[in-house]
Amino acid sequence: MSRNALINELRAIAGEHYVLIEKEDVIVYEQDGSIFQVMPEIVVLPANVEQVSAVIKAAKRANVPIVPRGSGTGLAGGAVPAEGGIVLSLARLDRILKIDLPNRIAIVEPGVINQDVTKAVAKDGFFYAPDPSSQAACSIGGNVANNSGGPHTLAYGVTTNHVLGLEVVLDDGQIIWLGGEVPDTPGYDLCGIFVGSEGTLGIVTKIAVRLMKTRESVRTLLAVFDQMDHATQTVVDITGAGIIPAALEMMDRTTIEAVERGAPVGLPRDAEAVLIVEVEGVREQTERAVEVARGICQRNGAREARVARDESERQLLWKGRKGAFGAMGALAPNYYVQDGVVPRSQLPEIMRRIAEISKQYNLRIANVFHAGDGNLHPNILFDMRTPGELDRVVEAGAATLRACIELGGSITGEHGIGIEKKAYIGLLFNEADLEAMSRVRKVFDPDGRFNPAKLFPTPVSCGEVRRQPANIPAGLWL
């Protein structure tokens, strides 16, 4: 099938206005939240699952790749069309189809914004737990693709823990359901295989998500430390005491500087680190837990350990934390965020390693991360205009990931592998492991057309992938 014939068929399916081919139209789809860019050939915006199925059938006949795209906030290049083909934007599939509060589920389309699910049920005392810092912009479909987490992962888990079922379109256009509207459906957990598969197995068009009841009491503690070792050890000690906070977040001195210069919330600029500890549950339990956490902070040398007096003060603390990535622009023209994981007990050591990497590559690194589950987000600050600096930034990022693996961790906690980390996945898995994963992929995608050149360490064969600094508005980062 010729390119023109494919374009005409796609226009017949989705409508002329929803098939983009001109450079000025497709250029806005060349990049997600990563540092990678590829100019799309064709962008299609279907309106429903039937159109998605028809587009996939047309792409199969034309033997061209399909790259699914949500809100474009991903951080590993997962939505970048590395081998050309069709970028399939699911932004128009943005409806909340069903809310079933007695059974605590909702069925949503992939283009629904994460935060909108909670907004739809908050008045009835429910919420959707996975909460990436980009939740005001990221889509549920993208969260499913990358198995996204967020600050409250420690207590509630990541996306896979809150997805009961998926409607997916396979490579031949067939529409099927995996899982369902009840937990623990019998048979193979194919729904679980799809969550985190980064668009390499098929296209998700509906998601059955679990809703949770709003907690009776929420208490939030801010602890201020003059030594990073004391702050990281406090994380280990709090969880070791049997307290599982809803969130346990940390920001270092450089991040505090960025927040206070960009959108100040009153954090002490001379602190080496601050720790946000949030506990939820029944009132008696949260009061007891927050006091135990405060005592541990004080024993570990916290200069200050105070509990937010009211909801407005609590929201101010979270404004600083969730706005931290967007505030990095106050310190440098560009930044590159990484996403490694270490066991909690290794937090003191990994922070020392990151400090060494910062000195080795002569790059400033700001750390803001989900300390409770050891999910690191080092932000490497740089200036793209300095010749050769981006290459050093990428090398420093790779050194960080290798350090995480050496300490018993992983190369991603929630951002996914995408293009960015596929060269490093072999450090975690041997050839037999990767071959087994590849066989699973081939069952669903025998021609390798769904989001090619992602996840596995294969070379990019067609599209010219360029590394550029991401120009992402404040607040879209995890």
395-412: per-residue pLDDT in tens? 999 999 999 999 999 999
| Residue 316, φ and ψ in degrees, nearest 5 | -65, -40
Residue 235's CATH number? 3.30.70.2190
Which of residues 182, 197, 213 is at a domain's end?
213
Residue 355's CATH number? 3.30.70.2740
| Residue at 292 is within a domain | yes
Q: Percentage of residues in the chain with pLDDT exceeding 70?
A: 96
Predicted model pTM: 0.92
pLDDT of residue 184: 82
Strand pairing report for 378-382 and 364-369: antiparallel
Provide mean pLDDT across the span 452-463: 70
Provide mean pLDDT across the span 282-307: 96
Using CA of residue 221, residue 222, residue 224, residue 230, what is the dihedral sign?
Answer: positive
Containing domain of residue 153, as a range?
A: 96-213
**Position of tokens 């668009």?**
199
Instruction: Kindly tell me if the per-residue pLDDT of 195 is higher than 70.
Output: yes
Rounded-to-integer distance, Cα 451 and Cα 344, Å: 33
User: For 20-24, 311-315, 441-445, 464-468, which range has the lowest pLDDT when averaged over its residues?
Assistant: 464-468
Co-location of 223 and 185 in the same domain: no
| Residue at 416 is within a domain | no
Rounded-to-integer distance, Cα 264 and Cα 272, Å: 17
| Residue at 179 is within a domain | yes
Instruction: Kindly tell me if the per-residue pLDDT of 471 is higher than 80.
Output: no
Provide mean pLDDT across the span 410-415: 94
pLDDT of residue 477: 27
Which of residues 189, 213, 237 is at a domain's end?
213
Residue 108's CATH number? 3.30.465.10
Instruction: Kindly tell me if the per-residue pLDDT of 225 is higher than 70.
Output: yes
Co-location of 177 and 120 in the same domain: yes
Provide mean pLDDT across the span 439-447: 96
Co-location of 200 and 236 in the same domain: no
Co-location of 100 and 208 in the same domain: yes
Rounded-to-integer distance, Cα 394 and Cα 61, Å: 38
Provide mean pLDDT across the span 430-452: 96
Co-location of 287 and 189 in the same domain: no
User: Cα Rg for the chain, rounded, in angstroms?
Assistant: 22
pLDDT for 18-66, tens place per residue? Answer: 999 999 999 999 999 998 999 999 999 999 999 999 999 999 999 999 9
pLDDT for 255-273, tens place per residue? Answer: 999 999 988 999 999 999 9
Which of residues 389, 407, 425 is at a domain's end?
407
Predicted confidence band at 346 (pLDDT cuts at 50, 70, 90)? very high
**Contact predicate 290/307, CB 8 Å:** yes
CA triple 354-300-152, angle to 5 deg: 65
| Residue at 78 is within a domain | no
| Residue at 237 is within a domain | yes
Q: What is the number of other CB atoms lying within 10 angstroms of the CB of residue 427?
A: 16
**How many domains does the chain divide into?**
3
Provide mean pLDDT across the span 363-371: 97
Instruction: Kindly tell me if the per-residue pLDDT of 337 is higher than 70.
Output: yes
